[in-house]
Amino acid sequence: MTLNSNRWALLALLMGAVGIAFAPIFVRLSELGPSATAFYRLGFAVPLLGLWAAVSPSQSVQPRKRRIVEMLPLMSAGLFFAADLAVWHWSIYFTSVANATLLANFAPIFVVLGSWLLFGETFSGWFLVAISLVLIGATQLVSASLTVDPQHLMGDGLGLLTAVFYAGYILSVSRLRLSFPTVTIALASSTVGAMLLCLVAWLSGEGFMPLTVSGWLTLLGLACVSQVIGQSLIMFALAHLPSAFASVSLLLQPVTAALLAWQFFGEALSLKQGVGGAIVLAGISLARWSDSPKSAGFANDSRH
């Protein structure tokens, strides 16, 4: 991988994080329930991604004919992503939004564990320090609304399970990108995820029809900005960047989401949140530095 492609991948990853940061804004504006909104996020993305696939060269990273059984791993990303969205929305139902958001952002821990246990990857001490900084900063961002309540135990557990599912999604996509182009993974995962979320929304008894034009436009915006653009940029980046580093960098998302909430909904940002955001950015910078060649003297990183 060249330095130039690395920089483009990093830029795509950060832009993808900004794209998915708009998701909470669209979800809050949605006229539908959380599961139905998640369904439309993926459902509206499918035809757009299908159009992209139709005009793209029909070849994988390693062109060759594939049997159906070889295509089955493509379902994994959709399964993990649908589970991530569904469980996170239920987590919000049983606990505070702050608790659910913070625990969902523990995904980098499970990405590191999964990379180590499944793929034998090791990480430098500086990289682990970076993860700690980012999680401390994320805690600062939502600390004003955090609650400690035994009655929220189930919701908190679901929030942590959300992090596990999102880690599974990141690890799945990072491996799939070795063999499939971005659009193939995005289309397959969105199709599988949409079908599962449709079932979840139906079982939850949620309505499927927005009442206004703005309600439909909100769902279309969620699909275009957060799913088609945001997640596709992240998938592209995962072909060039280590999954653990990518998962840490994606915690730029809560920082951006806090800024967007301030801009769109007038939610004031406290000094404590500002410090938390600065710590997150410092942790991401340290993760980037520890993953670069110049820090090799401080690392014992055997990623391959």
- The pLDDT of residue 79 is 92
Alpha-carbon gap, residue 31 to 37, rounded angstroms: 8
Average pLDDT over residues 42-63: 79
- Does any domain span residue 60? no
Distance in angstroms (rounded) separating the CA atoms of residues 38 and 258 = 20
- The number of angstroms, rounded, from the C-alpha of 68 to the middle of its chain's C-alpha atoms is 27
Has this prediction a pTM greater than 0.75?
Answer: yes
Distance CA 67, CA 19 (A): 34
pLDDT tens digit sequence for 63-105: 445 555 556 778 888 899 999 988 887 787 777 666 677 777 7
H/E element, 267:
none
Tell me if 302 is assigned to some domain.
no
Answer whether residue 93 is part of any domain.
yes
pLDDT digits (tens, 9 = 90+) for 165-204: 999 999 999 888 888 888 889 999 999 999 999 999 999 8
Residue 97: predicted pLDDT: 62
The tens digit of pLDDT for each residue in 228-280 reads 999 999 999 888 888 888 887 777 777 776 677 666 666 666 777 678 778 88
Domain that holds residue 275: 17-54+69-296
* 128-163: pLDDT as tens digits: 888 888 888 877 766 655 566 666 678 778 888 998
In a domain, residue 9? The reply is no
Domains in the chain: how many in total?
1
Token pair listed for 47: 């035809």
Do the domain assignments include residue 4? no
For residue 258, being part of any structural domain is answered with yes
The two three-digit tokens of residue 275, written as one number: 């410090």
Q: Has residue 136 been placed in a domain?
A: yes
